[in-house]
Structure 1
Amino acid sequence: MTLSGFLQNNKRIKRWTHYLLIPTGQARPRRWVSWLVNPFIHKKGAGARICRSVRLDVLPFRQFELGERSTVEDFCTLNNGVGDIRVGSFSRVGIGSVVIGPVTVGNQVIIAQHVVISGLNHTYESVDLPIRQQPVVSQPVVIEDECWIGSNAVITAGVRVGKHAVVAAGSIVTKNVPAYTVVAGNPARVIKYYDQERRVWVKNKPAPVAHGVRYPN
């Protein structure tokens, strides 16, 4: 049996282990975890940089990876409490952004300032309990290579942003974004796409069928 499986089957030991890692009611790990455990477990590529003011709410029982030459800028918050966070190479997480796993970011990705990317949701269905006491659920967010996520955008759980796509500033993305498109608005919709045959970006026209999927307007 794995260590994770052992803890799941022993609730008392699980609670005690959790207390050792994180203060009760908090998300940030204890300093001894950040200083003495995480650096030896989590992968950081050559030349990768995490700025000093970043809040790293990352724990050893979930993955956190930062690829070669990638940067997490000042005042960001990264939390892998309910899901892994993986950032590829030559990517940037902009000032003040929040990333809550499970989230995978590809290579050569630009995430601008004050972006929120969250693979977590709170359940609320029971009216007999405060929402904060109800379970959380998660769905992976995937941002493929070469994307640009504009400032103040929000990307919700379960969304995949295709390769070389652009999410305009302030957009709320609740559905998958096809590759080589530009989306904008709340909820975000495709406003431009790349015509592979003519090799030009096309605005305000129905997108062609590609691999059986029609891009929405």
Structure 2
Amino acid sequence: MNLKNNIKQNPRLKQLALYLLMPRHQARPRTWVRWFINPFRHKKGKGALIRRRTRIDVLPFQPFNLGSYSTIEDFATINNGMGAVVIGNHVRVGIGNVVIGPVTIGHHVILAQNVVLSGLNHGYTDPVIPIALQPCTIAPIQIDDDCWIGANSVITAGVHIGKHSVVAGGSVVTKNVPPYSVVAGNPAKVIRRYQESTGVWEKV
């Protein structure tokens, strides 16, 4: 049995390992983790750029991959504490975005300003226990290639956005989006679809 499995199966070792990685009751890893472990554990493609004023709250026990020529703009937050964050090539993660794993983003995707993608949900069903202390659930978000997510949009856990689709600004996406579609609203609904037979984006 390897060290990783030993830590997972021993509650005291697991608690110690988490304490060494990040301060108690915090989501941000310790400075030594960010400086001396993450650069060697996570993958950053050629020409990829993370702006200086970002919060890269990534830990070594979950993947964080940033593809070639992709950019994470200032004031964005990336968190892989509950699941992997995988970002493809030529992706723009806009100013003020929040990306909480598990999230997978394809190639040539544009995330405009203040977009929230969260593959995590807090439990709330026990009325006696504070919500902050209840177990979290996760459901992966997937955004396929060539998508554009408009400013101030929210993509909820478990949503799959199909290839070359557009999410209008301010939308709240709670259901899967078919490929080659435009969605808008709260909750977001399909308002246009590309028809290959006519070559036109038709209203729905």
TM-score, reference length from structure 1:
0.93
Equivalent in the alignment of 2:165: 165
Equivalent in the alignment of 2:127: 127
Structure 1: distance between partners of 2:149 and 2:42: 25
- Cα deviation digits, residues 73-118 of structure 1 (max 9, x gap): 0000000000000000001100000000000000000000000000
2:107 partner amino acid: N
Equivalent in the alignment of 2:39: 39
Residue 29 (1) aligns with residue 29 (2): yes
Residue 146 (1) aligns with residue 146 (2): yes
Structure 2: distance between partners of 1:176 and 1:143: 10
Equivalent in the alignment of 2:77: 77
Q: CA deviation at 1:203?
A: 1.1
Q: CA deviation at 1:2?
A: 4.2
Equivalent in the alignment of 1:208: none
Q: How many residues align?
A: 204
Other structure's SS at 1:190 match: strand
Fraction of identical pairs, as percent: 58
Structure 2: distance between partners of 1:159 and 1:2: 35
Equivalent in the alignment of 2:60: 60
Q: CA deviation at 1:4?
A: 3.4
TM-score, reference length from structure 2:
0.99
- Cα deviation digits, residues 140-160 of structure 1 (max 9, x gap): 000000000000000000000
Q: CA deviation at 1:128?
A: 1.4
Other structure's SS at 1:6 match: helix
Structure 1: distance between partners of 2:3 and 2:194: 48
Question: Over aligned residue pairs, what C-alpha RMSD do you find?
Answer: 0.7
Structure 2: distance between partners of 1:66 and 1:9: 31
The gaps in structure 1 that reach 5 residues or longer are 205-217
2:25 partner amino acid: G
- Cα deviation digits, residues 113-135 of structure 1 (max 9, x gap): 00000000001011110000000
Q: CA deviation at 1:181?
A: 0.2
Equivalent in the alignment of 1:11: 11
- Cα deviation digits, residues 11-65 of structure 1 (max 9, x gap): 0000000000000110000000000000001000000000001101100000000
Structure 1: distance between partners of 2:51 and 2:71: 8
Spell out structure 1 runs of 4+ moving beyond 4 A.
none
The gaps in structure 2 that reach 5 residues or longer are none
1:20 partner amino acid: L
